[in-house]
Structure 1
């Protein structure tokens, strides 16, 4: 049984009651909301994602809405990625940076109209950031948090389930593209996306009163494919090399250090926040990079509440930012944010609570 103490500072998503009914046993706090992280059987949740279809309450992925004549201009000012060719119905992964070039969030930008955008954010206050930048630049744009909450269907069979509910047109959606539509009168946007590499969709619910009903529509439709609950908290995200901004980054990390440089276009306009710092960082050369770690030992030992130092030949060269037992690799694996002098194939020491543990630096993704 999962218990929570209500407070005006902590919000449930429209799918919260469904998550509780599914047997939620653990949760985390994300964007001041309750994010389910387990339903009591981590092994089943992991293999369901790898082999079948998993249903996630990810309503914590809040939308920051930009609406008005300058919405597109603000979107570009916030983004070091060139958005000039972004079309209505298209989404793009965007690493938002501050003026120092430090990555502060990595939302999916959705262009709903020429004057309407959503930033589907990770865990930080982008609403405040966007509002401050818009005011400082004197832009004609309204910034709000709309009544929009994503639910995810992830796994190799997710497409079959979504097509069963929505129709075969969803099979033609390109990655990050979306379509606004209805499901039994419930307004949604359907996007091919999600925080896994197993394939899937996010269903953006646009009426928070319909969360339980929408959940049950997909739950019932997914029965022939063995659908069950899950969360973006399995080893799959680490195996697949997905970056968690705020978890795998610190207050100095730039996109180039964590394999996100391909989403930075250095020739965007000078008024884009952080672009001039990013140009300097690129010109001067990257000082750190992100590699994988395979740790010695055959007992699952996840990361605790802190990052752990990594030593090479007795010197600290960086830190391990996450660690999890991989059922497919049969080892503890994690990410290293380390000096560029550290190379794939080298043996390092991770300074764990129980003492130093040997590990090998490897390329990402693991699988």
Structure 2
């Protein structure tokens, strides 16, 4: 029996460009448009557009909308200003990650939440039990794209009636603006390690929005390019770098978005203890040789287990093999020499900054 996958509102226009799709969590995602390395370079050097519509989107409304988000996520969501976005993981009672995502505050009684899985809603409802909030799924009615790359501001400013140049990092326009002839919400966020934006519209406007952006030179890219972009930029992905109810956020080096001094979020007592001496940290490993290790390859130090290479790739930007790795803290110092399993043997590797590309993250903030 065949499986029916959900198509995004950008499906037709992407098929016209020769997109090859792949399925993940019941939706068809664009994988590539023929040359993932060229797509990667378009984002690093120019501007690309990626259909990210299948990410799960939730509409939080009610007097306790922001209180619910604050109770769910480890970051301070009650402190958000209207038009501000914050990223954070969300955890179970034991302080293990259930997922991660972003919260967009419209006003004190309205927010969007963007995460990865349909099952996240059941977790939200359990954590927010007793609060005056309605949390509704809006994924199907709110398609969206990422417009990423050093030319993204220039392109968007040329087709948008709002002052895109003044939009701050992790800010968004709470009211829809015009992008070409399409009403859309615009945020200065992304998943590339570059200056970039996310644009949200109605399903009937998706094809026109896509045409407006590609007509001005945005290059379509898919998950194959996203994978190398995110690994270079130290961005994590569920099911590869972390696993539900197994991985702690300190393992992902997410301490900056875990507030332990205020608030009362799910899993906080466990994270207070874990935060005193995190047993594992995420790093970038530079791997010697031309062979790319497998996802989940063992990392050792003189034969002693040291951690796991969670997401490896051949970096188009750096021209060498790199990977995100979760290491025991004692092996996570910069410059530490380790071995990574490759084929029937091992190869040498070195601990590098996280991220290895633009470690100060100046490009997305530019």
SS of alignment partner, residue 118 of structure 1: strand
**Contact 1:302–1:325 under 8 Å retained in 2:** no
Change (3 A) 1:354 1:45: farther
For each residue in 1:121-142, what CA deviation from the matched residue of structure 2 results, as whole angstroms up to 9, or x when unmatched? Answer: 13462222112223xx312211
* Corresponding residue number in structure 2 for 1:279: 272
CA distance in 2, matches of 1:123, 1:130: 12
Structure 1 residue 150: deviation in Å?
A: 1.6
Task: Flag as ranges the 4+ runs of structure 1 deviating above 6 A.
Answer: none
Select which of 67, 79, 91 maps to 2:61. 67
Tell whether 2:238 aligns with 1:238. Answer: no
CA distance in 2, matches of 1:288, 1:46: 30
Q: Where do residues 29-44 of structure 1 align in structure 2 (5 Å cutoff)?
A: 29=24, 31-44=25-38
For each residue in 1:309-331, what CA deviation from the matched residue of structure 2 results, as whole angstroms up to 9, or x when unmatched? Answer: 11111111211001100123221
**Contact 1:104–1:245 under 8 Å retained in 2:** no
Structure 1 residue 83: deviation in Å?
A: 2.1
CA distance in 2, matches of 1:100, 1:124: 21
**Contact 2:293–2:341 under 8 Å retained in 1:** no
Select which of 345, 348, 353 maps to 1:355. 345
SS of alignment partner, residue 320 of structure 1: strand
Runs of 5+ unmatched residues, structure 1: none
* Corresponding residue number in structure 2 for 1:87: 81
Runs of 5+ unmatched residues, structure 2: 358-366
Q: Which moved more, 1:121-130 or 1:320-329?
A: 121-130
Select which of 259, 262, 269 maps to 1:268. 262
CA distance in 1, matches of 2:280, 2:238: 16
The number of equivalent residue pairs is: 348
CA distance in 2, matches of 1:81, 1:27: 32
Structure 1 residue 14: deviation in Å?
A: 1.0
Structure 1 residue 362: deviation in Å?
A: 1.7
Give TM-score scaled by structure 1 length: 0.89
CA distance in 1, matches of 2:72, 2:162: 35
**Contact 1:64–1:126 under 8 Å retained in 2:** no
CA distance in 1, matches of 2:54, 2:251: 26
SS of alignment partner, residue 113 of structure 2: strand
**Contact 1:309–1:351 under 8 Å retained in 2:** yes
CA distance in 1, matches of 2:32, 2:101: 24
**Contact 1:65–1:119 under 8 Å retained in 2:** yes
SS of alignment partner, residue 178 of structure 1: coil
Structure 1 residue 41: deviation in Å?
A: 0.6
Q: Where do residues 147-296 of structure 1 align in structure 2 (5 Å cutoff)?
A: 147-167=141-161, 169-179=163-173, 180-183=175-178, 186-205=182-201, 207-220=202-215, 222-223=216-217, 227-234=218-225, 235-250=228-243, 251-270=245-264, 272-283=265-276, 285-296=277-288
